[in-house]
A and B are shown apart, each in its own frame.
Chain A
């Protein structure tokens, strides 16, 4: 169902600086892909009057402090400037379901969500920390593996399009919201409203919010995680925040109080998929903590001293009542972003040392990993089927890691600066995949500090061919010998060195579009749109192309069909 509101913003995007920027020509409000035009539909931003950076570090520079200049009759010029170290805006998508239960409970839901009485909706969550990192996470989804099923479940987002703009006083308890952080505040905007301003502003008094994550199936209502610069973590109910008229967190559960367990920056936070309320918080000192939501954030938590700071190690809490329950020391340097695979089996981390690490979450063991071409990695994201991982960072590349091959299978070249967000488009399907359950083509996107959004097509049949040419025997990629193949080449738990430039096939983007005037920090795909965010806290919602007119349907109709693509999408290699 299409949105009833057709308000199109045609002017150039607003900037936090009041003056128009002569360096930047107007940014187009649309971009073209092989399947059609993406159009700028809505813009979301923060009220500029409310912005302040009280928790930012102050760097004071004194210019021309050469006192001796006065003896040579030069004008003594002393200028004091405060350069704030601004923290980057991250954005999280949150979908609240109807409060009254529908009359027909969904039979296809798994046992883990049976108690909720109705189907869970797929929600893509992005949460990150300081310095442009994106985390892609799919909420507990009854173990749905293929994109097709997820797309059908995701169709329930159409229900929210009929929702009118909600104010705090008449909040009706449902809708799709964007949660983003700027300065010392968390803002919540209605995704489907044409209002630019957020419906809710929450000011954090003790530190700056850095990252956040939403759990659509949280049992007791505490579904939103917030990580702070001081290391503290809160869980709150998004519904309660929207219902309350105040500007503070309401009924927040507090963990790592005042950084008692870890006082370094909380850089990335995520719910454990399919879990019973567990979540993990990653920090700038290279540690990651596993929390149980239902346990008190005990102040007497303590962990053993880390034996070797360069090695991965897991320590359990000394006391059974402690929360966090475990500390994972990933390695030296900050963890910049973490991501769970859709089924919760794997946890990926990327960090300052440039390594992508993939852990088996249940056994707490390192499975595999690889180093970036060079520099830190800033973001990572899983494909819906768990077969591929995207990473991006300071080498300006988008790296595609294959879980089957245990290697980097492609490098995306096209960004002119650091890559700060990556995501797979799980709602997009290639025309070649009609009828067959196997997904042979993937669409993913990336955003960078070059202010560009790039869209990429990954067709594995074409990518694999160049890898077979190098000498060294004939590697077999048949399913039967996969395990033996892995064991021979890459032993379990190994971090691979950076690949060489000539060894990795290159991808070129399908689309390159400048979407903001400020460096970008986030990217989300939804059923009907894609959402980009810049570091200053400006969000843009880009509507997907209409390949066929969308028929009007009831809000509760679960069988809304996904429009099929008629154009042939060319492979890029």
Chain B
């Protein structure tokens, strides 16, 4: 839409960020879940930069096999290389590839944005891991020739062709992955057992009139294991009462928070949307981390918003902060909004409110070192 695009350009005027592009995405039949997540990822600057770098270094390989990541990289490259600053792009190739690969997204039914985000990130991880393994295999077969070569910009943590059993760390992990630690303390012998697990996003239970801060606290609250939930203590060699707690052992550079707004109601046999008002601040600090990462600060840069009263219909839009401006992406429409307008997407204090625009996936970027 030329009219809407020029309107946005006028609104920004000479404040339009240099080298930036603001493009809406066409909708190919209920693909707003896809469009809104892609916008959030495009304005996740570390992700965009890595993907464009990957695209540049792989463009010369003409016989490269097409996959979801190459289609995504191609789409991002299309946006960033546009001569116009604003406009509309059709993510046709990406959507076709997505539907071809995953039967779940093949229908024209409304899809869940969080499922799509999870699928996409894990798919990119799989592709990068395969390539890293292939590179490793090549190194092993030709160990005498340039063993320190860095293929595809990946950080391969090995030397002299020695095979490691360590998990492969891709740039997606460096951007999105954090580590949770499950601490269980036996109440009899006081032994603490810790089990780590990685995450690419956090899914939080929500409560009416709460905040992200309190939802994160509840995520890490202490749970007592007793009665039928007793814990088998290795030291006591028997089932014992215990206390369990989840903490963030290592926070990610990009913290993605998914609000569990869809709850299965047994009596109804279907999911119901929780329109709860959950306030999310523009800056955040995690208080449920282990000691070295205390007080690490995050800044909100994107929100995927679910519009509608139920999970199986409705709409998705995204809010994006780019160069200190907030933008509203609604498929092909792109508008600038006030920072205070972000608060209108917190949710409703009333159950049957006319406001059905609710923040669903929050994207925070770390302002400090998390290594």
Contacts and interface: CB of A to CB of B under 8 A. Distances in A.
A77 interface: yes
Interface stretch (B76-84, B176-184, B208-216, B230-238): B208-216
A417 B281 contact: no
Contacts of A64: 313-315
Contacts, number: 115
A552 interface: no
A395 interface: yes
B175 interface: no
A81 B210 contact: no
B285 interface: yes
Could you say which of B209, B283, B351 has the most chain A C-beta atoms within 10 Å of its C-beta? B209
A374 B208 CA distance: 22
Nearest to B289: A501
A19 interface: yes
Interface stretch (B23-31, B136-144, B148-156, B254-262): B23-31
A83 B279 contact: no
B354 A83 contact: yes
A374 B284 CA distance: 6
B211 A417 contact: yes
Nearest to A353: B283
A459 B177 CA distance: 44
A131 B343 contact: yes
A81 B355 contact: yes
B279 A68 contact: no
B32 interface: yes
A15 B209 contact: no
B209 A417 contact: yes
B350 interface: yes
B11 to A, nearest CB: 16
Contact of B108 (A72, A130, A354): A72
A519 interface: yes
Interface string A116-145: 000000000000001100000000000000
Contact of B211 (A81, A85, A396): A396
B310 to A, nearest CB: 11
Nearest to B339: A352
Contacts of B29: 66, 68-69, 72
A536 to B, nearest CB: 8
A352 to B, nearest CB: 8
A63 B287 contact: no
Interface in B290-327: 294-295, 297, 307-308, 313-315
B221 interface: no
A500 B297 CA distance: 11
Contact of A19 (B28, B284, B352): B352
Nearest to B295: A500
A211 to B, nearest CB: 16
Contact of B350 (A17, A373, A450, A501): A17
Given A66-B27, A374-B281, A396-B211, 6 more contacts: A81-B356, A131-B343, A394-B283, A395-B213, A418-B281, A502-B294
Interface of A: 15, 17, 19, 21-24, 59, 61, 63-66, 68-69, 72, 74, 77, 81-83, 85, 130-131, 354, 373-376, 394-396, 415-418, 449-451, 498, 500-502, 517-519
Interface of B: 27-30, 32, 108, 207-211, 213-214, 277, 279, 281-285, 287, 294-295, 297, 307-308, 313-315, 331, 340-341, 343-344, 349-357
